């Protein structure tokens, strides 16, 4: 064996000597490249989902602050107790509705982005297995 022999050549010779199926190394490397690209795409989808969830949570906070500002402007400490109580009750109901809607939207967005990210990986795994199966051929020299 010379210094110019590559590891791939050594592995090919080893596989041939053992009668192992021949692998198309170029196809195998291309498959792995596609796998890495799918992982990157999946991570990007997951990151976009996280950004969307953060944006929805920000919107919930902003809506809550708007409602709190409205309550503060309309509150009359020397006004009638039942009017103030009604105003506070309405504020609490709106805040609850905003929080529930925000939680539902955030959960839905997170669930969808996770589903999309996992589907990318699942689809790529299926393709990868098919590519690998196609790249393995019986060793005709054995």
> What confidence tens digit (pLDDT) does each residue in 67-85 have?
888 878 877 777 788 887 8
Pull the structure tokens for residue 85: 């109580």
The predicted structure's pLDDT at residue 142: 45
Q: Measured on CA atoms in the order 28, 33, 34, 39, is the torsion positive or negative?
A: positive
- Please answer whether residues 109 and 38 qualify as being in contact, where contact means their C-beta atoms are separated by less than 8 angstroms: no
Compute, in degrees rounded to 10, the torsion defined by CA atoms 95, 96, 102, 107. Answer: 160
- Low-confidence stretches of the chain (pLDDT < 70) are 1-5, 15, 19-24, 137-142
The predicted structure's pLDDT at residue 10: 79
Query: Which one-letter DSSP state was computed for residue 23?
Result: E
The predicted structure's pLDDT at residue 125: 92
């Amino acid at each position: 064996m010379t210094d110019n022999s590559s590891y791939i050549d050594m592995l090919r010779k080893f596989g041939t000597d053992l009668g192992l199926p021949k692998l198309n190394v170029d196809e195998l490397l291309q498959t792995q490249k596609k796998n890495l690209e799918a992982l990157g795409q999946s991570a990007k989808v997951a990151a976009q989902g996280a950004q969307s969830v953060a944006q929805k949570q920000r919107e919930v906070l902003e809506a809550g602050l708007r409602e709190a500002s409205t309550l503060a402007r309309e509150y009359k400490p020397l006004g009638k107790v039942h009017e103030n109580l009604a105003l506070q009750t309405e504020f609490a109901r709106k805040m609850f509705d905003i929080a529930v809607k925000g939680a539902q939207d955030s959960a839905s967005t997170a669930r969808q982005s996770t589903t999309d990210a996992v589907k990318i990986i699942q689809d790529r795994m299926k393709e990868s297995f098919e590519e690998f199966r196609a790249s393995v051929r019986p060793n005709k020299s054995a």
